[in-house]
Amino acid sequence: MRQTEKEKRGKGGRPKKAVKQNQFIGIKCTLIEKIYLKGKAKKFGLSLSEFVREAALKGQAVSHVKLIPKEILLFTATLNHLAANINQLAKKNNQNYPLSEVEKASLRTLSEEVKQLAISIKNYLT
């Protein structure tokens, strides 16, 4: 009779899950981030894995897209333009072609523009 009671009860222990979680995903974080996440998980009564999984599956993704101010984009465009012009003059000079007076004047002008741009950037940032 004891045998039949055991058979009715089964092996015992935790019941089998319908969907087994057997895939591993590791994430890298700082020690401070880990402590913070563990604290939040504990607050919700979840394990760290459950908390991170729930946050990833049901939470909102945080976008790390940084908006670049228009002024910085203009500075970058101007620098690219000046760099291209200076590069053309440097290439010609390095190929032993003498620079004409117009090109020398252009180089001086470009040099001044670079200095002014550097001042503008410094003023913008301070």
pLDDT in tens, 14-34: 888 888 888 888 999 999 999
Number of domains forming the structure of the chain: 2
**How far is it, in rounded angstroms, from Cα 41 to Cα 35?**
10
Does residue 84 sit in the same domain as residue 57?
no
Residue 41 and residue 80 in one domain: no
- What's the pLDDT at 62? 57
CA-CA-CA-CA torsion sign (44, 48, 53, 56): positive
Check: CB of residue 62 under 8 Å from CB of residue 108: no
Q: How far apart, in whole angstroms, are the C-alpha atoms of residue 62 and residue 41?
A: 19
Residue-level pLDDT at 2:
57
Q: Are residues 48 and 95 in the same domain?
A: no
Residues 58 and 76 in one domain: no
- Per-residue pLDDT, 9: 60
Q: Please report where in the chains the tokens 């333009």 appear, as a residue.
A: 81
Q: 102, 88 in Cβ contact below 8 A?
A: no
Do 120 and 76 have their domain in common?
Answer: yes
Whether 5 is in a domain gets the answer no
* Of 102, 126, 108, 113, the residue nearest 77 (C-alpha): 113
- Give yes or no: residues 110 and 85 share one domain: yes
Look up the domain containing 91 and give its range.
70-125
Residue 20 included in any domain: no
